Amino acid sequence: MFALSALETEALLLSLRVALWSVALSLPCALAVAWFLARHEFIGKTLLNGIVHLPLVLPPVVVGYVLLILLGRQGPLGTWLYAMFGITLPFTWQGAALAAAVMAFPLIVRAMRLSLEAVDRRLETAARTLGATPAWVFLSITLPLMAPGILVGALLGFARSLGEFGATITFAANIPGETRTLPLAIYSLTQVPDGEAAALRLVVISVLLSLTALAVSEIVARRLKRRIGA
């Protein structure tokens, strides 16, 4: 019942790789955007915030189609990437990781921004009055205090990336061994005779992985908050 075939194992390992790279791609940009939104007031802030959160409300297929237009071989960014670096993203596992990163990005930004807004800025001000540079204040005070938000955002992004379907199938297609992640494998198995048992196995694995990521994020966030409070 729970013995995975080679194709199912392949889909599982590919999903884990895509989800990990998705988080790795999202974290630095999400931290910068969260900082910009939390610490600055500027014209167009509401518009930028809306654009950041668009993947949460748009159909994932729309996001995948926009990525295909921009990063396809004939797209403005895709043409440049191929001409300069020989990189082609559509229909590759790297493209699947990018699609998952875009879909997970708003969740990561939101978790980081909420954590950053909860940081007591008087601590940062006190450090600067003692001669600390802005970079040192960020590394020694702000970053540790917002660590729970960073971790929660990363784990939420990981869980979201594991479940990404629409943007992935539109931008990266459903190629066995290359872009067929768990959701795509489940979809494919439901379309073939006698695929229900394998699909059920992958559903159970997906649920367990997502629940584990959410549980770990909650446990670690609580422990970090207790350590910071202490």
Torsion angles phi and psi, residue 88, rounded to 5: -125, 120
Half-sphere exposure at residue 143, Cβ-oriented, CA atoms within 13 angstroms: 10
**CA gap 116, 120 in Å, rounded:** 9
Would residue 219 count as lying in a domain? Answer: yes
Digit-by-digit pLDDT tens for the chain (230 residues) are 557 778 888 988 999 999 999 999 999 999 999 999 998 888 888 999 999 999 999 999 999 999 999 998 888 998 999 888 888 899 999 999 999 999 999 999 999 998 898 888 888 888 888 888 888 988 888 888 888 888 889 988 998 999 899 999 999 999 888 899 999 999 988 888 887 888 888 898 888 888 888 888 778 777 776 766 65
The alpha carbon of 184 is separated from its chain's Cα centroid by a whole number of angstroms, namely: 18
Would residue 41 count as lying in a domain? Answer: yes
> From residue 48, how far is each of 11, 51, 52, 71, 169 by CA, in Å?
35, 5, 6, 22, 27
Would residue 108 count as lying in a domain? Answer: yes
Helix (H) or strand (E) holding 124: helix 121-129
Question: By residue range, what is the domain housing residue 69?
Answer: 6-229
Give me the number of domains the chain comprises: 1
| pLDDT score of 230 | 52
Would residue 158 count as lying in a domain? Answer: yes
Would residue 146 count as lying in a domain? Answer: yes
Provide the whole-model pTM: 0.89
**Beta-carbon neighbour count of residue 125 at 10 Å?**
11
Would residue 1 count as lying in a domain? Answer: no
**CA gap 62, 172 in Å, rounded:** 13
CATH code, 217: 1.10.3720.10
Would residue 150 count as lying in a domain? Answer: yes
